[in-house]
């Protein structure tokens, strides 16, 4: 029985007397929507999820499979574990594994406590200048991992500024790598710990204080247990990043050979692919292991913080604030010193003989490495990665989180896509890049034409940074009312319309965050793309590597500066765009005038 | 009464002529089953809702009432059984093909759209219809008393107003069925009471068939034409509020709807029961050897002195009295029935007399034989 709402009771009675749908229909057109047929939605979801799963399978799963395959074959064909065993037992290989672990362990032991104290200062104290400290601490994200190496060479290298302070010790080697990796991994650890420390239930602290616990006891019984998963997570990230990075060892490693460096040399220098594959697998193992453990712990932590938690607000305490200001200031000073030295050095005419300023190092077109073309390529790569990646990530996360999958096939597809979306986090860039070589460079692959082209670089970069972006999108989507989709279905509005009219606008700040993350990561990444570029698609961060290789350390510093400036400009631009968009399109966030 | 008879199968109903359908089959749920692993959320549920009536699904949390509503809405898929709306089998139709409007506890208004855009969300997007759509939006907002706020955003109005906008949005496309999923449980008590009456008045005026889920029995009593009380995945009783209150079909219903006094008994004969030292006469025939007698507090008569030879009269101590304004709620300990406390609603005068500073705090309690029901 149809009815038409009206305020006129007489008309209502009259209409009830007639009770004719036709009569109403003549009065006005049927204003309700006509629902899309069910098969259209199912087909769309199937195609979307299927496409995503296929894409991730081809650009992540198959390259990894190619590494595995490569490590068990040699020129003669199937070789089983003999190749791997041969390489592992080879000359000095185990010592190299030991060196990698030593560097990873020491860096973790240095970085995580420092980052914890820094994050604690930012979230749990009232120290002044929080946003400035935070910005300074996150600056290393804007630079490729080669920058700290270059800066260290200028500072403590054989002709370094502070060489006299080292007492004859050399920066090339263990401590150089550790210092560089500390700079490179600090912001990553800091972000994780900031999130962990921000999730505090103020009521627990009130309870602890009411029961007479002192600050140390409170820290040991409330703060530390509440953040132990974040600490573990940070340890995993720092260790994995350190062990798989070859930017720092490349510049300041000297004779101190580590696994990542050896893989790079094996593939790029010696064309020894089985060795590269074997090291790739060795590097994949700890990464996958820590990742799996991390996911399990995180799932268990889920229920810890309830919706009723009160945010923690630090009380005034001058001594504490001063101590943390000193500590944070020291860390920030170290980070700024490294960046500052690299930037300053890029403007020096002739290190160390002529310290007058000049733009000589920026004359990229007259030296090896790719020049300004590399920089333009990097911008293109970053732009495409941000645009394509953000859209894919959000559509993918939305399909997985917000569209009900009916039937075994659809549910299986969703599970597969969800698993594939989490995998990139467990795969170091170096391993991903090696996989791409083995898979796409193989002449028998029909996708071989992609090798060395910009589209493949974009796809590789999107896949490389997929998981973090995916998790951000998922969090943003899950913060929305779960009944939006049900309400729009009852109104017969197609899901995709609701996605573009409601869901995406609501998630706009998160989407711009994702875009910024992808842009900056694409600007600075070396590890995967270094194996995939061709002369016309050379990238800025790769150019830094090549210029450093050729001994042009000044221009390398200059290119680092250019990368950092571009990343910062893009990040700032996106931030401002986000603010402007929020102000213009999100009037609903403002209270009534 | 549990409606389990299948006078016509779902298939027949789907193919049948609309006008010849019996009126109580406007929305028919037949033998619906839904399991989550080993847990059975809906165990063979059947329910017939007449055109234009408001039916409440009432029950404690976890009884399956929300699952039933979501199954009717197509948001959950049942494992077995059929749903027929308006003579059309919608058991396997996706939500958008079912033709209903729905209200959620969280309102689910789109925060980035104005109230007018929200109400227009389910209306035709065709250019030719724009004027009509605009008129309908205004009409709907007027209907819910928010005519002047078309350009505000949901975040700028109160919770009660938001739920009204959600109602306007749900009704705008003229659905044949309105589903309400605890629509008022996020609101303040005051607002809730007000909106309750408003919603019911509107529903009656538009005579739109409505199914509402609630755990608040007062809400159900105030609003519903009929109430289906659910427990453990089955409908325990389906009837008017009056029937549920006066003739509860089971001890669960008696306890869940309204207040209840329970006295354990032993059967003497079909109309006499032993309760403690007392022998009580009962109108209803006693079926079981032992069980519990049930009396509503307002049926328990209390007087200061014995009068004549009353049946079922007992002496009692007044334990406590709560002043309710329109009367007192007394807690009484029956003499000769160890461990039994009986509650009674009495007039202010009786209460004043029994609870005054010089009162004896003893009284006579009479349980009228017609007001007693027995349950196993």
Rounded CA separation B79/B32 (Å): 8
In a domain, A10, yes or no: no
ipTM of this model?
0.81
Q: What's residue B12's pLDDT?
A: 38
Mark yes or no for CB contact A38/B94 under 8 Å. Answer: yes
Residue A586's pLDDT band, with cuts at 50, 70 and 90, is: low
Q: What's residue A307's pLDDT?
A: 52
| Among the ranges given (A302-311, A504-513, B12-21), the one the predictor scored with the smallest mean pLDDT | B12-21
The larger pLDDT score, comparing residue B220 to residue A214, is at: B220
Residue B24's pLDDT band, with cuts at 50, 70 and 90, is: low
Looking at the structure, tell me whether residues A116 and A262 fall in a common domain.
Answer: yes
Name, of A245-249, A584-588, B69-73, B352-356, the range with top average pLDDT: B69-73
Rounded CA separation A399/A408 (Å): 16
Q: Is A273 helix (H, G, I), strand (E, B) or coil?
A: helix
Tokens of A284: 């994949």
* Among the partner residues B74, B86, B142, nearest to A7 by beta-carbon distance: B142
Q: Is A471 exposed, middle or buried (0-12, 13-18, 19+ CB in 10 A)?
A: middle
- Out of A323, A358, A393, a domain closes at A358
Tokens of B177: 């069925």
Q: Is the pLDDT of residue B30 over 70?
A: yes
* Among the partner residues A484, A491, A506, nearest to B122 by beta-carbon distance: A491
Looking at the structure, tell me whether residues A181 and A239 fall in a common domain.
Answer: yes
* Among the partner residues B98, B153, B207, nearest to A588 by beta-carbon distance: B153
Q: Mean pLDDT, to the nearest integer, of A310-317?
A: 80
Q: How many CB contacts within 8 angstroms connect chain A with chain B? A: 140
Tokens of A161: 């500024």
How far away is chain A from the Cα of B290, in angstroms, using its nearest Cα?
47
Residue A7's pLDDT band, with cuts at 50, 70 and 90, is: very low
All residues of chain A having their beta carbon less than 8 Å from the beta carbon of residue B122 are: 32-33, 488, 490-493
Tokens of B324: 């309710």
In a domain, A399, yes or no: yes
Q: Is the pLDDT of residue B15 over 50?
A: no
Nearest of A587, A569, A572, A566 to residue A508 by alpha carbon: A587
Q: What's residue B14's pLDDT?
A: 38
Rounded CA separation B91/B84 (Å): 7
Q: Is B322 helix (H, G, I), strand (E, B) or coil?
A: strand
* Among the partner residues A1, A16, A491, nearest to B173 by beta-carbon distance: A491
Q: What's residue B21's pLDDT?
A: 42
Q: What's residue B23's pLDDT?
A: 41
* Among the partner residues B94, B123, B176, nearest to A31 by beta-carbon distance: B123
| Among the ranges given (A362-371, A582-591, B133-142, B292-301), the one the predictor scored with the smallest mean pLDDT | A582-591
Residue/partner pairs of A363-369 with CB below 8 Å, 24 or more apart = A363/A555, A364/A543, A364/A555, A364/A558, A364/A559, A367/A547, A367/A552, A367/A555, A368/A546, A368/A547, A368/A550, A368/A552, A369/A538, A369/A543, A369/A544, A369/A546, A369/A547, A369/A550, A369/A552, A369/A555, A369/A556, A369/A559
pLDDT in tens, B225-234: 999 999 999 9
Structural domain total, chain A: 2
Mark yes or no for CB contact B139/A5 under 8 Å. Answer: yes
Residue A310's pLDDT band, with cuts at 50, 70 and 90, is: confident
Q: Is B331 helix (H, G, I), strand (E, B) or coil?
A: strand
**How much is the mean pLDDT over chain A?**
85
Looking at the structure, tell me whether residues A138 and A267 fall in a common domain.
Answer: yes
User: CB atoms < 10 A from the CB of A593, how many?
Assistant: 5
Q: In what helix (H) or strand (E) does residue B12 lie, and over which residues does it extend?
A: helix B10-15
Q: Is A124 helix (H, G, I), strand (E, B) or coil?
A: helix
Looking at the structure, tell me whether residues A273 and A350 fall in a common domain.
Answer: yes
Quick one: CA torsion of B131, B132, B133, B138, rounded to 10 degrees?
90
Q: Is A143 helix (H, G, I), strand (E, B) or coil?
A: coil
Q: For A9, which residue in chain B has the nearest alpha carbon?
A: B205
Q: Supply the DSSP string of A194-231, one letter for each residue.
A: HHHHH---HHHHHHHHHTT--HHHHIIIIIHHHHHHHH
The larger pLDDT score, comparing residue A297 to residue B169, is at: B169
- Out of A288, A323, A358, a domain closes at A358
Q: Mean pLDDT, to the nearest integer, of A402-431?
A: 86
In a domain, A529, yes or no: yes
Q: Mean pLDDT, to the nearest integer, of A353-382?
A: 85
Mark yes or no for CB contact A486/B129 under 8 Å. Answer: no
Q: Is the pLDDT of residue B202 over 50?
A: yes
Q: Is the pLDDT of residue A593 over 80?
A: no
Q: What's residue A359's pLDDT?
A: 85
* Radius of gyration for chain A, computed over Cα atoms and rounded to the nearest angstrom: 28
How far away is chain A from the Cα of B195, in angstroms, using its nearest Cα?
18
Q: Is the pLDDT of residue A589 over 70?
A: no
Q: What's residue B13's pLDDT?
A: 39
In a domain, A332, yes or no: yes
Q: What's residue A4's pLDDT?
A: 46
Structural domain of A438: 46-76+361-593
- Out of A358, A391, A425, a domain closes at A358
Q: Is the pLDDT of residue A10 over 60?
A: no
| Among the ranges given (A189-193, A444-448, B101-105, B174-178), the one the predictor scored with the smallest mean pLDDT | A444-448
Looking at the structure, tell me whether residues A175 and A66 fall in a common domain.
Answer: no
Q: What's residue B356's pLDDT?
A: 81
Q: What's residue A74's pLDDT?
A: 73
Contacts of B333 (CB under 8 A, 6+ apart): B316, B317, B319, B340, B341, B342
Is the distance from CB of A523 to CB of A544 less than 8 angstroms?
no
All residues of chain B having their beta carbon less than 8 Å from the beta carbon of residue A7 are: 139, 142-143
Residue A580's pLDDT band, with cuts at 50, 70 and 90, is: confident
Q: What's residue A249's pLDDT?
A: 92
| Among the ranges given (A120-124, A224-228, A391-395), the one the predictor scored with the smallest mean pLDDT | A224-228
**How much is the mean pLDDT over chain B?**
87
Looking at the structure, tell me whether residues A200 and A346 fall in a common domain.
Answer: yes
All residues of chain A having their beta carbon less than 8 Å from the beta carbon of residue B90 are: none
> How many Cα neighbours within 13 Å face the side chain of A93?
15
Q: Is B294 exposed, middle or buried (0-12, 13-18, 19+ CB in 10 A)?
A: buried
Q: Supply the DSSP string of A318-360, one letter for each residue.
A: HHHHHHHHHHHHHHHHHHHHHHHHHHHHHTEEETTTEEEE-SG
Looking at the structure, tell me whether residues A412 and A485 fall in a common domain.
Answer: yes
Calculate what percentage of chain A has a pLDDT beyond 70. Answer: 92
In a domain, A84, yes or no: no
Q: Is the pLDDT of residue A583 over 70?
A: yes
In a domain, A58, yes or no: yes
User: Tell me, what CATH number does A315's domain have?
Assistant: 1.10.3720.10
Looking at the structure, tell me whether residues A365 and A489 fall in a common domain.
Answer: yes
All residues of chain A having their beta carbon less than 8 Å from the beta carbon of residue B108 are: 481, 483-484, 486-487
Q: Is the pLDDT of residue B207 over 70?
A: yes
* Among the partner residues A3, A30, A483, nearest to B108 by beta-carbon distance: A483
Looking at the structure, tell me whether residues A353 and A388 fall in a common domain.
Answer: no
List, in sequence order, every residue forming a beta bridge with B49; answer none if it has no partner: B27
Rounded CA separation A61/A422 (Å): 12
Q: What's residue A21's pLDDT?
A: 41
Name, of A15-19, A306-310, A415-419, the range with top average pLDDT: A415-419
Sheet holding B301-303, edge to edge: B301-303, B362-366, B313-323, B328-334, B341-346
Rounded CA separation A32/A559 (Å): 59
Residue B344's pLDDT band, with cuts at 50, 70 and 90, is: very high
> How many Cα neighbours within 13 Å face the side chain of A127?
26
Q: In what helix (H) or strand (E) does residue B141 lie, and over which residues does it extend?
A: helix B130-143
Looking at the structure, tell me whether residues A351 and A374 fall in a common domain.
Answer: no
Mark yes or no for CB contact A483/B143 under 8 Å. Answer: no
Rounded CA separation A208/B168 (Å): 49
Residue B11's pLDDT band, with cuts at 50, 70 and 90, is: very low
Cα–Cα distance list, B197 to A236, A390, B159, B258 (Å): 59, 48, 16, 20
Is the distance from CB of B178 to CB of B170 less than 8 angstroms?
yes
Q: Mean pLDDT, to the nearest integer, of A373-393?
A: 95
All residues of chain A having their beta carbon less than 8 Å from the beta carbon of residue B97 are: 35, 37-38, 492
Is the distance from CB of A312 to CB of A205 less than 8 angstroms?
yes
Domains of chain B: 52-70+95-256 (3.40.50.300), 261-375 (2.40.50.100)
All residues of chain B having their beta carbon less than 8 Å from the beta carbon of residue A494 are: 96
Is the distance from CB of A134 to CB of A140 less than 8 angstroms?
no
Q: For A495, which residue in chain B has the nearest alpha carbon?
A: B96
Q: For A480, which residue in chain B has the nearest alpha carbon?
A: B108
Q: What's residue A44's pLDDT?
A: 87
All residues of chain A having their beta carbon less than 8 Å from the beta carbon of residue B170 are: 490-491
Rounded CA separation B266/B288 (Å): 8
All residues of chain A having their beta carbon less than 8 Å from the beta carbon of residue B153 are: 587-588
Residue A301's pLDDT band, with cuts at 50, 70 and 90, is: low
pLDDT in tens, A15-52: 444 444 433 434 456 788 888 887 888 888 889 999 99
In a domain, A15, yes or no: no
Q: What's residue A306's pLDDT?
A: 53
Q: Which of A4, A5, A30 to mutate to probe the B interface, most B CBs <10 Å?
A: A5
Q: Is A513 helix (H, G, I), strand (E, B) or coil?
A: helix
Looking at the structure, tell me whether residues A340 and A487 fall in a common domain.
Answer: no
Looking at the structure, tell me whether residues A144 and A242 fall in a common domain.
Answer: yes
Rounded CA separation A526/A144 (Å): 7
Which phi and psi angles does B222 have, rounded to 5°? -70, -40
Q: What's residue A205's pLDDT?
A: 85
* Radius of gyration for chain B, computed over Cα atoms and rounded to the nearest angstrom: 25
The larger pLDDT score, comparing residue B298 to residue B3, is at: B298
Nearest of B17, B46, B10, B19 to residue B31 by alpha carbon: B46
Cα–Cα distance list, A413 to A118, A246, A407, A451, B248 (Å): 42, 36, 10, 28, 50
Tokens of A205: 């602290």
């Amino acid at each position: 029985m149809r009815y038409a709402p009206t305020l006129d009771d007489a008309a209502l009675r009259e209409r009830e007397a007639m009770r004719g749908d036709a009569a109403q229909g003549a009065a006005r057109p049927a204003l309700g929507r006509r629902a899309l047929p069910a098969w259209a939605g199912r087909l769309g979801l199937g195609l979307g999820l299927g496409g995503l799963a296929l894409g991730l399978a081809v650009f992540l799963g198959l390259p990894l499979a190619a590494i595995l395959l490569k490590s068990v074959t040699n020129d003669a064909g199937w070789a089983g574990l003999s190749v791997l065993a041969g390489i592992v037992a080879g000359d000095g290989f185990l010592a190299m594994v030991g060196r990698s672990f030593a560097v990873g362990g020491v860096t973790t032991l240095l970085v995580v406590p420092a980052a914890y104290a820094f994050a604690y200062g930012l979230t749990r104290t009232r120290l002044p200048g929080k946003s400035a400290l935070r910005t300074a601490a996150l600056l290393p994200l804007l630079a490729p991992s080669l920058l700290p190496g270059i800066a260290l060479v200028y500072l403590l290298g054989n002709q370094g500024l502070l060489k006299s302070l080292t007492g004859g010790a050399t920066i090339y080697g263990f401590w150089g790598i550790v210092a560089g990796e500390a700079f490179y991994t600090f912001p990553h650890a800091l972000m994780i710990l900031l999130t962990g420390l921000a999730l505090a239930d103020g009521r627990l602290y009130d309870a602890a204080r009411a029961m007479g616990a002192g600050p140390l006891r409170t820290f040991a019984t409330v703060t530390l247990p509440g953040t132990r998963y974040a600490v573990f997570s940070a340890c995993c990230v720092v260790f994995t990043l350190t062990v798989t990075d070859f930017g720092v060892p490349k510049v300041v490693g000297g004779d101190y050979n580590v696994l990542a460096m050896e893989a790079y040399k094996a593939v790029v220098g010696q064309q020894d692919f089985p060795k590269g594959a074997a090291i790739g697998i060795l590097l994949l193992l700890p990464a996958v292991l820590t990742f799996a453990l991390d996911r399990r712990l995180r799932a268990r932590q889920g229920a810890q913080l309830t919706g009723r938690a009160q945010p923690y607000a630090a009380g005034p305490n001058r001594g504490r604030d001063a101590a943390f200001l000193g500590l944070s200031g020291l860390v920030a000073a170290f980070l700024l010193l490294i960046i500052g030295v690299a930037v300053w050095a890029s403007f020096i005419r002739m290190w160390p003989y002529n310290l007058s300023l000049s733009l000589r190092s920026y004359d990229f077109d007259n030296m090896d490495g790719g020049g300004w073309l590399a920089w333009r390529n990097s911008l293109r790569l970053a732009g495409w990665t941000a645009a394509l990646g953000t859209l894919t990530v959000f559509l993918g996360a939305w399909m997985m989180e917000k569209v009900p999958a009916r039937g075994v096939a659809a549910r299986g597809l969703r599970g597969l896509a969800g698993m594939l979306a989490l995998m990139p986090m467990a795969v170091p860039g170096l391993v991903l890049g090696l996989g791409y070589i083995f898979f796409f460079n193989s002449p028998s692959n029909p996708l071989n034409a992609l090798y060395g082209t910009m589209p493949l670089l974009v796809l590789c970069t999107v896949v490389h940074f997929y998981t973090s972006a995916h998790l951000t999108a998922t969090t943003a989507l899950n913060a929305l009312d779960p009944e939006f989709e049900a309400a729009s279905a009852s109104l017969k509005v197609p899901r995709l319309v609701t996605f573009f009219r409601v869901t995406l606008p609501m998630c706009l700040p998160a989407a711009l965050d994702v875009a910024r993350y992808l842009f900056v990561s694409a600007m600075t990444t070396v590890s995967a793309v270094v194996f995939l570029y061709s002369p016309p698609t050379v990238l800025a961060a790769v150019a830094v590597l090549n210029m450093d290789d050729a001994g042009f350390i000044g221009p390398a510093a200059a290119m680092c500066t250019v990368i950092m400036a571009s990343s910062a400009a893009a990040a700032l631009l996106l931030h401002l765009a986000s603010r402007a968009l929020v102000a213009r399109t999100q009037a609903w966030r403002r209270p009534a005038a | 009464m549990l409606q389990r008879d299948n006078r016509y199968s779902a298939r027949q109903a789907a193919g049948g002529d609309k006008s010849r359908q019996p009126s109580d089959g406007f929305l028919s749920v037949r033998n619906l089953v839904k399991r989550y692993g080993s847990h059975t959320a809906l165990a063979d549920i059947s329910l017939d809702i007449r055109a234009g009536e408001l039916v409440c699904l009432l029950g404690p949390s976890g009884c399956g009432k929300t699952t039933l509503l979501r199954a009717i809405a197509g948001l959950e898929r049942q494992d077995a059984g059929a749903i027929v709306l308006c003579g059309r089998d919608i058991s396997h139709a996706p939500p958008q093909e079912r033709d209903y409007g729905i209200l959620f506890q969280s309102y689910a208004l789109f925060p980035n759209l104005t109230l007018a855009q929200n109400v227009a969300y389910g209306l035709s997007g065709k250019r030719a219809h724009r004027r009509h759509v605009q008129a309908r939006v205004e009409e709907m907002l007027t209907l819910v008393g928010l005519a002047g706020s078309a350009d505000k955003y949901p975040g700028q109005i109160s919770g009660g107003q938001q739920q009204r906008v959600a109602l306007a949005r749900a009704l705008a496309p003229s659905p044949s069925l309105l589903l309400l999923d605890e629509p008022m449980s996020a609101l303040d008590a005051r607002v809730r009471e007000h909106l309750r009456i408003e919603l019911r008045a509107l529903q009656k005026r538009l005579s739109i068939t409505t199914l509402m889920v609630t755990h608040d029995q007062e809400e159900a009593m105030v609003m519903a034409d009929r109430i289906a009380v659910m427990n453990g995945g089955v409908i325990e009783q389906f009837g008017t509020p009056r029937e549920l209150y006066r003739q509860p079909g089971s001890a669960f219903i008696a306890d869940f709807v309204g207040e209840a006094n329970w006295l354990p008994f032993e059967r003497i004969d079909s109309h006499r029961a032993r309760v403690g030292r007392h022998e009580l006469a009962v109108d209803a025939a006693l079926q079981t050897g032992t069980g519990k007698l049930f009396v509503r507090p307002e049926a328990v008569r209390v007087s200061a002195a014995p009068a004549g030879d009353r049946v079922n009269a007992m002496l009692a101590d007044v334990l406590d009295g709560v002043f309710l304004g329109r009367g007192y709620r007394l807690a009484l300990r029956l003499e000769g029935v160890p461990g039994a406390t009986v509650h009674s609603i009495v007039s202010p005068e009786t209460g004043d007399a029994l609870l005054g500073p010089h009162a004896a705090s003893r009284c006579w309690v009479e349980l009228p034989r017609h007001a007693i029901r027995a349950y196993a």
